[in-house]
Amino acid sequence: MQVILAQPRGFCAGVKRAIKIVSRAIEVYGAPLYVRHEIVHNRTVVEELKAKGAIFVDDISQVPDGATLIFSAHGVPRSVSDEAHARPLRIFDATCPLVTKVHRQVVKLHNNGKKIIMIGHAGHPEVEGTMGQIDEGIYLVESVDGVNALELESTSDDLSYVTQTTISVDDAAEVISALKSKFPSITEPKKNDVCYATQNRQDAVKRLADACDLVLVVGSVTSSNSNRLREVAERHGCTAKLIDTAADMQEDWFEGIGTVGITAGASAPEFLVQQVIERLRSAYPSLTVTTQDGDEENVAFPMPRGLWDSDLEAARAQKEHRHG
């Protein structure tokens, strides 16, 4: 059996930053601390951070005064941010800067008198956070059917759109095309908001699907971009399975399979991919593993004030002093 690893795969810059914010905040300010919503949509990551002292809450009323609170990578509605900042809490915002960029765009469009259509998935925290940046004048569509059902003045030129960062690039293109034909004067952004990591992983999984008999996507069922990777592979004619960990693999998936492609969602750690390879190797000792040609990503986002290297060094020095 042959394994081909997708390139790129796994952690994106926004996820790396969000996890580092929680880990570093625990080290600098101590445990427990509170995180609103799963910091990123990956079960293993969440369990590891829980073990370090992070408490995940759905509502900030569950956070005691004086505590440290972190907003997840998906962002929060303005009402949540306002409520938190009105309380005596130490707050760090792990919202991915690419999501924050969409938030700012929504506010700017709204202030310029535009109605906004958000292309995304209902109930996803990023969508709730982005739509919650303004009180009115923003409408969610999930599909071409959603566009057809939209009851807005079709000659309106005060209309614009934004997209969830982790949706399918191809689905977004279809919905945008339907929007443009229904609302010919809709204002288009220079570029849609699907992020670089989503785009790159979907491009890579298409190439993987062309070369493989089966694609495994390492990622949690709650992860939007991981689900999209599985769908994109299937649309390219390849059977694809979403697995949280190697333990989810079933032996009969591999009967008659010569080449297995492995990718990982933007919130899935690389060690989970390596565990999948090890489990396959134990069943197929002559397994060969190669990595797809593909660009290395070199995007990185800065840490928020209060969690810089100097803050970490000061916290470590203080700890040493206490124990010395």
CB 215 within 8 A of CB 265: no
Burial of 303 (0-12, 13-18, 19+ CB in 10 A): middle
Q: Which of residues 259-288 bind ligand SF4 (CB under 6 A)?
A: 266
Rounded distance, CA 122 to CA 134, Å?
17
Catalytic residue among 38, 126, 128, 142, which?
Answer: 126
In the chain, the amino acid numbered 292 is Q
The contact pattern for ligand SF4, residues 227-266, with x = CB under 6 A and - = no contact, is ---------------------------------------x
Query: What is the token pair recorded at 112?
Result: 């310029």
Q: How far is the CB of 314 from ligand SF4 (least distance, A)?
A: 28
Query: What is the token pair recorded at 211?
Result: 């070369």
If binding is defined by CB under 6 A, does position 69 make contact with ligand SF4?
no
If binding is defined by CB under 6 A, does position 15 make contact with ligand SF4?
yes
Active-site residue flag, 38? no
If binding is defined by CB under 6 A, does position 14 make contact with ligand SF4?
yes
What ranges in 163-269 are assigned the alpha helix state H? 169-182, 196-211, 224-235
Query: What is the token pair recorded at 215?
Result: 């694609």
The contact pattern for ligand SF4, residues 85-124, with x = CB under 6 A and - = no contact, is -----------x-xx-------------------------
Rounded distance, CA 280 to CA 218, Å?
14
Residue from 160, 225, 226, 227 touching ligand SF4 (CB under 6 A): that is: 225
If binding is defined by CB under 6 A, does position 54 make contact with ligand SF4?
no
Residue from 7, 23, 163, 198 touching ligand SF4 (CB under 6 A): that is: 198
According to DSSP, residue 267 is labeled T
The contact pattern for ligand SF4, residues 147-186, with x = CB under 6 A and - = no contact, is ------------------xx--------------------
If binding is defined by CB under 6 A, does position 12 make contact with ligand SF4?
yes
* Long-range contacts (CB closer than 8 Å, 24 or more residues apart) made by 282-288: 283/251, 283/254, 284/1, 284/254, 286/1, 287/1, 287/2, 287/3, 288/1, 288/2, 288/3
If binding is defined by CB under 6 A, does position 6 make contact with ligand SF4?
no
Binding site for ligand SF4 (CB under 6 A): 12-15, 73, 96, 98-99, 165-166, 195, 197-198, 225, 266
- Annotated active-site positions, please? 126
